[in-house]
Amino acid sequence: MITESAPVRRILMTLAFGFVGLFLIVPLVTVFGGALQGGFPLFIKNIRDPYTRAAILLTLQTAAVVVPLNLLFGVTAAWAIAKFDFFGKRTLMTLIDLPFTVSPIVSGLIFVLLFGAQGIFGPWLMRHDIKIIFAVPGIILATIFITFPYVARELIPLMQAQGNDQEEAALTLGSGGWRTFFLVTLPNIRWGLVYGVILLNARAMGEFGAVSVVSGHIRGLTNTIPLHVEILYNEYNLVGAFSVASILAFLAIATLVTKMLIKWKTRQEMILEEAS
Amino acid sequence: MKLLLKQKSVLPGFGPALGFTLFYLTIIVLIPISMLFLKTATLGWSSFWETVSSPRVIASFGLSFGTSFTAALINVIFGLIVAWVLVRYRFPGKKIIDMLIDLPFALPTAVAGIALTTAFSERGLLGSLLGSIGIKTAFTPLGIIIALTFIGLPFVVRAVQPVLEDLDKEMEEAAVCLGARRWQTFVHVILPILFPALMSGFAMAFARALGEYGSVVFIAGNIPMKSEITPLLIITKLEQYDYAGATAIATVMLIASFACLFIINRLQWWSHHRQEA
Amino acid sequence: MSIRIERLRKQFNGYSAIDNVSFSVSDGEFVTLLGPSGSGKSTVLRCIAGLERPDSGGIEIDGEDVTRIPVQERKVGFVFQHYALFRHMTVLENVGFGLRVRGVKRREWEGKAKELLELVGLSGLGGRMPSQLSGGQRQRVALARALAAEPGLLLLDEPFGALDARLRRELRTWLRKLHDRIKLTTLLVTHDQDEALELSDRVLVMNRGRIEQDAKPQAIFDKPSTEFVAAFVGETNRLVGVVHNDEVQWGPLKFGSYSFSDGTRVAILFRPTDVYVSSQPEGSEVSGVIKTIQFLGATESMEIDLGKGFSITAHVPKGVAEQSGFTQGKKVYITVTRSHLFFSLGSA
């Protein structure tokens, strides 16, 4: 009943829709519109281009390494932080958040300083003929750094909200540590975990700045999908750029839809729980 | 490890879990970042200062800070309006819009960059429209602000939304009963409660914008002294094999990030505390 | 200020929250709306304040129709169950808020707010934040805040609902004294019958969006006009029987019935305190056996078995019970001194 007058409401709605339309819907429409500008066959041709396929393959490889590692870290860190109270916890959480605020360019640069030709381990790596910078390992390292906090960030508040009661009950019933984790903790956090992994995957596949610094942009070898988009765009191949970009845009939309479904699902479960 | 515990716990695995967490954190984040400071330390103060105080670098700092600040400010105003509309009003398609708010988190920055550039270029959907009234966006600082607004869009909305949802409706009713007009209720009652969340949303949007590269680099035009942001300048230095220069500038950026992180932390604590009371 | 409510109706999603409610409150009166949750009592209060808009019907304050007047201009003081204090303002700023938004100068509203804090017995706490106060103190600040803008009407929505029993009783007495002093027309909403009976000049009992009875507290208790009122206010024994020759027979008990025709199904309600229990017949023909005794403090509650599956509850003062030596299994004689009969649709 207590609300703004109708004209004010209309103005606020218009401003909100305008803002969302301008900044969110226009870019999405531009990507998909641009991809299909030359018709569907051209789109398919662009996707099946050998360089595009190489970029997709490299991106998948990167994600295949990054996602499990950061997932393992995220779950472990969340367990330590959410389930125990210890000195230095706040500091630890701040440090985990670090990669969120560090510029991707700076993130890329620090790995160049470590492993690049002029870097600290550069001469040693050169002698042993190991290539990290301007090669796949560099891309993977930079991506791990950038996507480091996502799973932990998603799980910590969730696990804190759940409390320790259920785990403690399981322990008193004679369940071991691992068993308790897999049978009690994991089912409770499964939706948050799913979303965390999906977001982690989307960010890992889409990272541009940091990867751009360490990759060397060698077509067919060290080009991930976003880097390939950049190259196509800079060659004025707009349709090609948008076609490849639409793969990533699609991945982003799938991520958002998953988040919405999970939100809906958890609310549903909460209602059921309250009803019983 | 166990010595760190404030309270004994029956749950197992604290030692190994914290141990692994610290190990991984050190290898992936702490050592690489400390390299940057180490490298800077070898530069010597005078050459560091020479680099970061050169006109081109100073101009890039000014541009990066100025555009990030403006974009974060735009996000505070419109983010508040969007959050308000999403929480308070009912309309069809609300769930979809709520879902789309996170798009800048999920959409790779390079994709956003080329999409925004195309849309705002002279021949683009919006660029031609703005061009007809004499506003040039792409390849100007205005374009940078647009890209940074996109990047920071979810922060304010997502910071304000939960606070607005939890807002005690009785408090607003009490205010009207006491004779407050709608705007007075907003200014005296609602805004002070939202303020910490707005500030922390602002700080997060600002911090993210400061380091942003992918979405800006296409639309900025990258003209030295005019539309060259700091992260791009670091890339330029790297491409010229000027590692010392790149490192010096990066150190300044990193310190700015630390400062932002510290401020965000305080703000979140404040916001949280305010809500509890 | 006086209030007149005329045929008020309000629906929420097809469900009638208020259904044709009319009543009036005269200047300086303390009236209570009593009813279970969902009976529509809060909605009536919110309609008077202007926080809800009724679907139809009229609200007059001092003879003026205020149905279309916005909340801000109705000059009502509203006290909420959960206090609704502005948690980012000090106690003094909270109390002065109503004056501040009307453009009163700082010095003036501060003075007035201090005066009111004194009135509610909280002088000296003006600089605190609401979070630093106890529940009872918060509620008094909320009251001071509502009074500060000098309303013509005080509306209290379950003001003591969030407090513990002891504090509730204390504040109740205090509120009545305050009302006697400032003589402000007051409308209280509560589900607590003790609160209603103790505080008010008049009680309106509400059920399912309608007013069941509008009477003085004593009459509500002694002469309930509907079965709902009898059952809701105070404890009752409820029996169902059929009228036969101007009488209703229930087990060994007989009740005279002159207002119902033969064959009518009626519900008989009487209070456990209206059952006279003695160890000697004393003219009573009805006897029973004490099945259980429950100690309630000043009284003892007994379940008395009248045989053949009939049993009733009686409350006896502790002294009497001790003197008469009432114990479990003892044979006693009973008389129902006062009962109420209502037309009954329900089954036995």
- What is the maximal distance between C-alpha atoms in chain B? 69
> Exposed e or buried b for every residue in B201-215, given b needs 16+ CB within 10 A?
bbbbbbbbbbbbbbb
Task: Please report, as a single letter, which amino acid is at residue A159.
Answer: M
Helices (H) and strands (E) in chain B, counts: 15, 0
Q: Report whether C120 contacts C145 (CB < 8 A).
A: no
Residue B22 pLDDT > 90: yes
Q: Is C51 on the interface with B (CB under 8 A)?
A: yes
Output the pLDDT for position A200: 94
Say whether C71 and B189 touch across the interface (CB within 8 A): no
The residues in C 127-166 lying below 8 A from B, measured between CB atoms, are 129, 131, 142, 145-146, 149
> Of the given ranges (A78-92, C85-99, C257-271), which has the lowest mean pLDDT?
C257-271
A35 versus C222: the higher-pLDDT residue is A35
∠ at Cα A153 (A148, A154), nearest 5°?
115
- Split at pLDDT 50, 70, 90, the class of C347 is very low
C315: three-class secondary structure by DSSP:
strand
| Domain range C3-232, CATH architecture | 3-Layer(aba) Sandwich (3.40)
> Exposed e or buried b for every residue in C286-320, given b needs 16+ CB within 10 A?
bebebeebeeeeebbbbbbbbeeeebbbbbbeeee
- Split at pLDDT 50, 70, 90, the class of A173 is confident
Closest-CA distance, A276 to chain B, in angstroms, reads 25
What is each CA distance from C344 to C224, C237, C267, C268, in whole angstroms? 15, 15, 5, 9
Name the residue ranges covered by the structural domains of chain B. 36-276
| C223 backbone dihedrals φ, ψ, rounded to 5° | -125, 65
- Split at pLDDT 50, 70, 90, the class of A276 is low
Ranges A12-21, B259-268, C282-291, most confident: A12-21
Q: Which residue of C has its CA nearest to A3?
A: C51
The percent of residues in chain A predicted with pLDDT above 90, rounded, is 60
Task: Please write the tens of the pLDDT for every residue from A78-113.
Answer: 999 999 999 999 889 989 988 988 999 999 999 999
Task: Please write the tens of the pLDDT for every residue from B144-182.
Answer: 999 999 999 999 999 999 999 988 888 999 999 998 999
Q: How far apart are CA B184 and CA B191, in angstroms?
A: 10
Q: Which residues contact C232 (CB under 8 A, 6 or more apart)?
A: C34, C35, C36, C193, C205, C207
Residue A76 pLDDT > 90: yes
- Split at pLDDT 50, 70, 90, the class of C155 is very high
Q: Which residues contact B265 (CB under 8 A, 6 or more apart)?
A: A90, A94
> Of the given ranges (A87-101, B176-190, C252-266), which has the lowest mean pLDDT?
C252-266
Name the residue ranges covered by the structural domains of chain A. 1-35, 40-275
Q: Which residues contact B162 (CB under 8 A, 6 or more apart)?
A: B197
- Split at pLDDT 50, 70, 90, the class of C222 is confident
Output the pLDDT for position B223: 84
Ranges B206-210, C68-72, C262-266, most confident: B206-210
Say whether A34 and B7 touch across the interface (CB within 8 A): no
Chain C hits for B175, CB-CB cut-off 8 Å, are 86, 97, 101
The percent of residues in chain A predicted with pLDDT above 70, rounded, is 99
- The CATH number that domain B36-276 falls under is 1.10.3720.10
Residue B209 pLDDT > 70: yes
Average pLDDT, integer, range C293-317: 87
- Split at pLDDT 50, 70, 90, the class of B206 is very high
Residue A265 pLDDT > 70: yes
Q: Which residue of C has its CA nearest to B184?
A: C101
| C303 backbone dihedrals φ, ψ, rounded to 5° | -95, 120
Average pLDDT, integer, range C310-333: 86
ipTM metric? 0.90
* Mean pLDDT, chain B, whole residue set: 90
Output the pLDDT for position A172: 83
Q: Which residues contact B14 (CB under 8 A, 6 or more apart)?
A: A80, A83, A84, A86, B1, B2, B5
Say whether B11 and A88 touch across the interface (CB within 8 A): no
**Which residues of chain C are in CATH 2.40.50.100 domains?**
237-343
Chains that touch B (3 or more CB pairs under 8 A): A, C
Average pLDDT, integer, range C5-25: 91
Average pLDDT, integer, range B194-208: 93
- Split at pLDDT 50, 70, 90, the class of C117 is very high
Task: Please write the tens of the pLDDT for every residue from A28-49.
Answer: 999 999 999 888 999 999 889 9
- The CATH number that domain C237-343 falls under is 2.40.50.100
Rg (CA), chain C: 25
Q: How many CB atoms lie within 10 A of CB B93?
A: 9
Output the pLDDT for position B2: 67
Output the pLDDT for position C348: 40
User: Counting Cβ atoms within 10 Å, is residue C213 exposed (0-12), middle (13-18) or buried (19+)?
Assistant: buried
Q: What share of chain A is helix, strand, coil (3-state, %, to 5)?
A: 80, 0, 20
Local structure of residue B11 (DSSP, 8 states): S
Mutate to test the interface with C, among A2, A3, A4, A5 (most CBs of C within 10 A): A2
Chain A hits for C53, CB-CB cut-off 8 Å, are 1
What is each CA distance from A46 to A245, A253, C22, in whole angstroms? 11, 21, 76
Average pLDDT, integer, range A182-209: 91
Chain A with chain B: Cβ pairs closer than 8 A: 292
Say whether B277 and C129 touch across the interface (CB within 8 A): yes
| Cα A195 from chain centre | 10
Which residues of B have a CB under 8 Å from any CB of C? 168, 170-171, 173-181, 184, 188-189, 192-193, 274, 277
Residue C257 pLDDT > 80: no
For the domain made up of A40-275, give the CATH fold: MetI-like fold (1.10.3720)
Residue B92 pLDDT > 90: yes
Output the pLDDT for position B275: 56
**Which residues of chain C are in CATH 3.40.50.300 domains?**
3-232
Task: Please write the tens of the pLDDT for every residue from A210-256.
Answer: 999 998 777 777 889 999 999 999 999 999 999 999 999 999 999 99
Average pLDDT, integer, range C326-338: 87
Average pLDDT, integer, range C41-65: 91
Say whether B175 and C145 touch across the interface (CB within 8 A): no
